């Protein structure tokens, strides 16, 4: 699954660590999601969407 | 080594538990072996008791590892820990299976032993493999 996390993060001038702290996960986890190595669960996807004030489908897109 | 303060709470709890059980293991094993080999004749019940007491901290380490899987609130880290324990179990089963057949065909005198120790060693080996490119 592709995602726009890196772009959204850059728009806010957030580092991976900033995003990880806001989500309560490790920086390694943010990196894995951002690079598409790991697809987050629905609860985590909702937390990410809420943080960016967007819908899940505005962040995560089908391959 | 990771800084204690920057460590996730679940990892701190895991480290404390492992330290306590491993310290207990060294103390109990040393004391039990000293007592068992003191020269005095010990009954079957005493020897069973010594075996159970010595096994207790090892069982505690297994418990600590599985509590880590339960308490890890970072789902990607939990996925990596689960992968690591599955790899460790698979590697251990491979070793034990080969060892068992070496014994069946009289290549070695005794069959699989110290499986807990083998599993812990495999858990250590599985760590970097599970986290390869993670």
Q: Tokens 């806010």 map to which residue?
A: A12
Contact B96, B118 (CB under 8 A): yes
* CA B49 vs CA A55, B25, B30, B54, B93: distances in Å: 60, 15, 15, 9, 28
Locate the chain A residue with the closest alpha carbon to B79.
A38
| Eight-state DSSP code of residue A25 | S
Give contacts of A19 with chain B, Cβ < 8 Å: none
Locate the chain A residue with the closest alpha carbon to B74.
A25
Residue B2 is predicted with a pLDDT of: 59
pLDDT tens string for chain B (134 positions)?
Answer: 558 888 889 999 999 999 999 999 999 999 999 999 988 888 999 999 999 999 999 999 999 999 999 999 999 999 999 999 999 999 999 999 999 999 999 999 999 999 999 999 999 999 999 999 88
B75, A24: Cβ pair inside 8 Å? no
Which candidate in B6, B10, B11, B75 is best for mutational testing of the A interface (most A CBs within 10 A)? B75
What is the distance between the alpha carbons of residues B61 and A18, in angstroms, rounded to a whole number? 34
Q: Give the mean pLDDT of A29-50.
A: 96
Residue A21 is predicted with a pLDDT of: 94
Q: What 3-state DSSP class applies to B47?
A: helix
* CA B10 vs CA A32, B4, B115, B123, B126: distances in Å: 20, 12, 27, 18, 20
Helix axes B75-104, B115-130, angle to 10 degrees: 130
Residue B71 is predicted with a pLDDT of: 96
ipTM of the complex: 0.90
Which CATH fold topology does A2-58 show?
Answer: 434 Repressor (Amino-terminal Domain) (1.10.260)
Structural domain spans, chain A: 2-58
B133 touches chain A (CB under 8 A): yes
CA distance A44 to chain B (A): 9
B76, A26: Cβ pair inside 8 Å? yes
Residue B4 is predicted with a pLDDT of: 84
Q: Which H helix or E strand runs over A3?
A: strand A2-3
Give contacts of B75 with chain A, Cβ < 8 Å: 25, 29, 40-41, 44
């Amino acid at each position: 699954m592709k995602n726009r996390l890196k772009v959204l993060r850059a728009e806010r001038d957030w580092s991976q660590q900033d995003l990880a702290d806001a989500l309560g996960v490790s920086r390694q986890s943010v990196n894995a999601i951002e690079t598409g190595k790991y697809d987050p669960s629905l609860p985590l996807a909702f937390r990410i969407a809420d943080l960016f004030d967007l819908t899940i489908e505005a962040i995560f897109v089908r391959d | 080594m990771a800084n204690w303060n920057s460590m996730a709470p679940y990892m701190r709890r895991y480290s404390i538990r492992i330290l306590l059980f491993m310290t207990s293991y060294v103390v109990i094993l040393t004391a039990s072996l000293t007592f068992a080999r003191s020269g005095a004749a010990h009954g079957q019940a005493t020897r069973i008791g010594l075996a159970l007491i010595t096994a207790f901290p090892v069982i505690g380490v297994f418990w600590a590892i599985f509590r880590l899987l339960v308490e890890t609130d970072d789902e990607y880290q939990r996925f990596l820990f689960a992968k690591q324990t599955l790899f460790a179990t698979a590697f251990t089963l491979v070793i034990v299976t080969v060892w068992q057949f070496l014994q069946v065909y009289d290549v070695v005198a005794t069959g699989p032993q110290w499986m807990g120790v083998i599993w812990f060693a495999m858990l250590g080996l599985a760590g970097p493999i599970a986290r390869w490119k993670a």
